[in-house]
Structure formats: C-alpha cells, structure tokens
A and B are shown apart, each in its own frame.
Chain A
Amino acid sequence: KQEVTQIPAALSVPEGENLVLNCSFTDSAIYNLQWFRQDPGKGLTSLLLIQSSQREQTSGRLNASLDKSSGRSTLYIAASQPGDSATYLCAVRPTNTNAGKSTFGDGTTLTVKP
C-alpha cells in the first residue's frame, strides 16, 4: 500500500526566503507525482505534475523535482511572498491505474510573513 508523507506539517518563513517542501512515498512504482496548493476551505489547485520519466518541472518561481529511486519529491519556492501562504499537497498516481486513484500526503501548511 502506497503511503505518502509530507514533513514538516507546518512551516513559517519571512517574506523573500527560498524554501523547500518535502514529499516522500513508499512505493517507487509510480506513474506521476503532482503538487497542489489548497487555500483554507477551498479546493485544490494543480501547481506542477512530474511524470515518472522526468526529473523536474518548473513553473515561474516553483520548481519540483522527483527521485523515484529514493521515493522523494521536493517543491522549491523561490523568493516567497505572503500570497504563497497555503497548504501544499503532493499526490502520487500508481503505475497501473488512471488519474483518479491518487494517494495524497497530509500537506505542509506554509505561512509567509510580511
């Protein structure tokens, strides 16, 4: 059974700092890994999707990396802003299923202080 862990559960940084969020998974047989952002009481917004054959993906100030062999992914946020404050979730999609049956971590709640 796939298990996804995100540590730390919460992180507080001053504005302008670069930071890294971590996601680890127990079964390396994955199809892809997706990072989401969730604002309080809201749905999920997709940030980046990394296919199992890829090492990293970039979008603006965000960079996500994937190391299947070690069961790890990181989300790097450059020059953090107060608007980046949210919960960040990673989700792993197993190799033998389609997009729906993803396993999520419990998220890291990020607070960026002005």
Chain B
Amino acid sequence: DAGVTQSPTHLIKTRGQQVTLRCSPKSGHDTVSWYQQALGQGPQFIFQYYEEEERQRGNFPDRFSGHQFPNYSSELNVNALLLGDSALYLCASSFGGQGEETQYFGPGTRLLVL
C-alpha cells in the first residue's frame, strides 16, 4: 500500500516564474491538504481539497491555487514566485469524514526560488 507520494522532490525556479507541485494521496483517502514549511518552522496550512473543490484555505495569497482530480490526486500551483516562497511543501491526505482520522504526510517537495 503506497503512502502519500509527491513530485518532484526538489525544484529550483527564479523569481516571477510559475510552479506546479503534485501529490497522490494514500490509498483510500479522498482529502488532500497542502502545507508550506519554512526552514526552522512548523508547517503552515495553505488549503484543502475534497470532492475536487477547495474546502478550506489558510492565510495565503491568490498566487497559491490548487486542483484535485477525480482520482483524488492534487496539484499545487504557485504563480509569480517570490524569494519568500522557498520552502518545503508538504501534502497530507486523510479521509473526508468527521471521524477520528489522522493525517498522513508525503515526503515533501523542496522549492528554491532564486
């Protein structure tokens, strides 16, 4: 049973460019959440997708957008990259119910903006 997978593992971009990160949830999960983790800090919630719609959003600008596909995989898009967008981007999957579910995290994508 594959866990949460993310691609690519590392990425280098320049300011102003656009980037797309990808996530496949753990088998049986239908909800994907994205987090940004700056060096030395805890993850910050970006948004969550469920049933192909953005269900919740944290305090991130509209430059951050996403998508969820019918197979529950998800993409995170960041436009007009800034130096401050350099971080580890984590994807977490869970089951969409209101039960006692835990989140399972992927290995992350390390983004460096030059």
CB-CB contacts below 8 Å: A31-49 with B: 32, 34, 36, 41-46, 49
CB-contact partner of B90 in A43, A46, A101, A107, under 8 A:
A43
A98-B96, A107-B42 given; A46·B104 CB < 8 A: yes
Q: Which of A60-114 contact B (CB under 8 A)?
A: 89, 91, 97-107
Query: Cβ of B62 < 8 Å from any Cβ of A?
Result: no
Interface residues of B, Cβ cutoff 8 Å to A = 4, 6, 31, 33, 35, 40-45, 48, 55-56, 58, 88, 90, 92, 94-98, 100-108, 110
- Contact A101-B58, Cβ < 8 Å, known A43-B90, A43-B108, A106-B42: yes
Residue of B nearest to A46 (CB): B102
Is there an interface contact between A89 and B110, defined as CB atoms closer than 8 Å?
A: no
Known: A51-B100, A98-B94, A98-B98. A106 touches B41 (CB 8 A): yes
Q: How far is the CB of B80 from chain A (nearest CB, A)?
A: 25
Distance in Å from the Cβ of A83 to the closest Cβ of chain B? 19
Complex CA gap A3/B92 in Å reads: 21
Beta-carbon nearest neighbor of A36 in chain B: B105
With contact pairs A100-B92, A101-B45 given, residues A44 and B105 touching in the complex (Cβ less than 8 Å): yes
Number of A residues with CB within 8 Å of any CB on chain B: 25
Judged by a CB distance under 8 angstroms, whether A30 is at the interface is: no
Determine whether A21 belongs to the interface, using a CB cutoff of 8 Å to chain B.
no
Flag if B56 contacts A100 (CB, 8 Å): yes
A34–B92 Cα distance when bound, in Å, is 13
Contact A43 B94 (CB under 8 A): no
A48 and chain B: residue at smallest CB distance: B102
With both chains docked as a complex, state the minimum distance between the C-beta of A92 and any C-beta of chain B, in angstroms. Answer: 11
Indicate if the CB atoms of B105 and A45 lie closer than 8 Å. yes
Out of B55, B96, B102, name the residue touching A49 (CB < 8 Å). B102
